[in-house]
Homo-oligomer: A and B are copies of this chain.
Amino acid sequence: MLSFETIAEAHDRIRPYIHRTPVLTNQTINERAGADLYFKCENFQKIGAFKARGGTNAVLQVAQNREGTAITTHSSGNHAQAVAYAARQVGLPAYIVMPRNAPQVKKDAVRGYGAEVIECEPTLDAREQGVRDIIARTGAVLVHPFDDDRVIAGQATAAKELIEDAGQTTPFQVIMAPVGGGGLLSGTALATHYLSPGSRVVAGEPAGAADAVLSFQSGKVEKAPFIDTIADGLLTSLSERTLSIIRAHVSEILTVSDAEIVAAMRLVWERMKIIIEPSCAVPLAVVLKHPDRFAGQKIGIILTGGNVDLGKLPF
């Protein structure tokens, strides 16, 4: 089990490379929710998402421990940019396997950080084979998007900052994050366990990628019954590692529909004037869906990222 010291060391390690993002509140959204919401704005993080934390923590250790002379990963999303960004900070080459149908803008962003993009067929098998090929060819070290303690420790620093900055005088009753592969949720649950043990951790998941809620119930890593959601950052299933942390330290996982996700996303755009991606709106959608469950509570919500394609908005 990841210790508090490991998370605190991760925080010290990555601090020069990340933003301490602000915690924002909004009166209108509080009135709408009937609760007291604190938004940790990782949409303002380096590369536009919390993934910069975990990726940087892992890459810095690879460099410091001289575990390899290059970094690799596979991702179609924010983790790709996070690893590319972090590798550039330490001067290591990065090889990022991306499905060839990933948006051009995302491939360009990864290349913009100086990484090499290796395109593959859009299947998990092809991605994993792509990474194996790179490791064989270059000796690169894999930084997995979530099934890695160093990544989880890095992601935990978002909740650590949230608790330090807004949960000291009056502790949070609830701390929320969305769940995809579970790296952020595991880190959030651990940081909360150590720093704000009276807080419940509640996760939000799209109904159209409902693997975590099933895995949470069964105790085994389950696949989603179907994948159909706008929350494209949350399509992945958990790993044994993340499931075991989540089962130990998360109180519940609640699902929301895409219509509820888009409504919550729009509310944040309109009232807070900040850009969040659909995956990011899932916890707020949960709060708005269950006003009875959260009435009057102090709730911390991690807004995970702001990387959206403005040409393809859902409104």
For A22, A273, A315, the residue with the greatest tally of chain B CB atoms inside 10 Å of its CB is A273
User: Which of A50-58, A92-100, A125-133, A305-313 lies at the interface with chain B?
Assistant: A305-313
> A277 CA to B310 CA in the complex, in Å?
14
**Is A266 positioned at the interface, with any CB of B under 8 Å from its CB?**
yes
Copies in the complex: 2
CB-contact partner of A44 in B273, B275, B311, under 8 A: B273
Interface size class of A (residues with CB under 8 A): 10 to 19
As a 0/1 sequence over residues 246 to 274 of chain A, the CB contacts with chain B under 8 angstroms (1 = contact) are 00000000000000000000100110111
Additional A-B contact list (17), CB under 8 Å, known A22-B22, A44-B272, A269-B275: A43-B273, A44-B273, A48-B273, A266-B310, A269-B310, A270-B310, A273-B274, A273-B275, A273-B276, A273-B306, A274-B274, A274-B275, A275-B275, A310-B313, A310-B315, A311-B315, A313-B313
Q: How far is the CA of A266 from the CA of B43 in the complex (A)?
A: 16
A43 to B273, CA, bound (A): 7
Residues of B within 8 A of A313 (CB): 310, 313
CB-defined contacts of A44 to chain B, threshold 8 Å: 272-273
- Alpha-carbon gap, A275 to B43, bound state (A): 12
Q: Could you give 20 example pairs across A and B, Cβ below 8 Å?
A: A22-B22, A43-B273, A44-B272, A44-B273, A48-B273, A266-B310, A269-B275, A269-B310, A270-B310, A273-B274, A273-B275, A273-B276, A273-B306, A274-B274, A274-B275, A275-B275, A310-B313, A310-B315, A311-B315, A313-B313
